[in-house]
Amino acid sequence: MTDKPKKIWFEAKEYGYGAGLPASWEGWVVFIGFFILITAGFFLPPIEMRMELYLPFVFVLTVVFVAIAVRKSPEFRWRWGYDDLEQMSNRQAAAKRRKEKKDKSNQKVDNISKGSNTSL
């Protein structure tokens, strides 16, 4: 039996603990649905303007949202920045490579401009 890699719904955070923004349409559905339900819950007749009912409602929604994020994101651990590309989604890895390439080309331009300024 082959192990299928799990589909990532939420990206790994670059710094800190937890998940970042959604990385797929399923993640966006869960993310937006969470906020719609929290907002709609404030106006539901049994909960409307009663904090003793609204707070547990929000708590349960938050627990469900976090549980989904834990299951559908890369390993939850503390991060001090991306030290390995395996923890990133493909989109994040490509963006990191582009940034590094751009930084290297900017360094070359800086070195050239510094060299021309010193020769004056």
Same domain for 119 and 67, yes or no, is no
- Structural domain contains residue 4: no
Which stretches of the chain score pLDDT less than 70?
1-5, 47-49, 81-92, 108-120
CA atoms within 13 A on the CB side of 98: 6
Total tally of structural domains belonging to the chain: 2
pLDDT tens for 85-120 read 455 666 667 777 788 887 877 776 666 666 655 544
Residues 18 and 39 in one domain: yes
CA 53 to centroid of chain Cα atoms: 30
Contact 41, 49 (CB under 8 A): no
Judge whether 1 lies within some domain: no
Q: What is the pLDDT of residue 34?
A: 95
Structural domain boundaries, residue 35 = 10-84
Strand positions, DSSP E, the chain: 10-12, 15-16, 19-22, 79-80
